[in-house]
Amino acid sequence: MSPRKGEVYTDGGRRVVVVSSDVVSESLAWVATLVRRHPDDSIQPDPLTVDTHAADPVTGMVMLVDLIPVSPQHLTDPVGTLIGATMDRVNDGLRYLFDV
């Protein structure tokens, strides 16, 4: 089964979230790195760094400036799926990034 938008995977020791459409991800999934936040972290969320929600299966920040293409066959360790509210903010960030 192909990765779906919003799904979180462990890929090579790091967590990534699929940000490309389900159709695109069938052949090449675009993912953003998900980093953990330290309680004293001074990084403030902005349109390109999206905090996860307490209801998400993982905590941290989606780094939209760190987009990479990954073969769907390499995304084999699913962690869960981000909730709709988080993905709405991710989508807003992608629109901001690409000015669309």
Query: Tell me: the pLDDT tens digits for 9-21?
Result: 998 889 999 999 9
Q: What is the CATH number of the domain that holds 51?
A: 2.30.30.110
Tell me what pLDDT residue 81 has. Answer: 98
Tell me what pLDDT residue 43 has. Answer: 65
Q: Are 66 and 74 in contact (CB under 8 A)?
A: no
What letter does residue 83 receive in the DSSP assignment? Answer: -
In terms of residue numbers, what domain contains 19? 7-98
Tell me what pLDDT residue 90 has. Answer: 97
In a domain, 73, yes or no: yes
Predicted structure pTM score? 0.92
Q: Count CB neighbours of 58 within 10 A.
A: 16
Give me the percent of the chain exceeding a pLDDT of 90: 83
Tell me what pLDDT residue 1 has. Answer: 79
In a domain, 1, yes or no: no
In a domain, 82, yes or no: yes
Tell me what pLDDT residue 45 has. Answer: 67
Number of domains in the chain: 1
Tell me what pLDDT residue 41 has. Answer: 64
Tell me what pLDDT residue 40 has. Answer: 62
In a domain, 47, yes or no: yes
In a domain, 2, yes or no: no
In a domain, 54, yes or no: yes
For 89, half-sphere exposure in the C-beta direction (CA atoms, 13 angstrom radius) is 16
Q: Are 31 and 70 in contact (CB under 8 A)?
A: yes
In a domain, 38, yes or no: yes
In a domain, 31, yes or no: yes
pLDDT single digits (tens) 44-76: 668 899 999 999 999 999 999 999 999 999 998
Dihedral sign for Cα atoms in the order 10, 15, 17, 20: negative
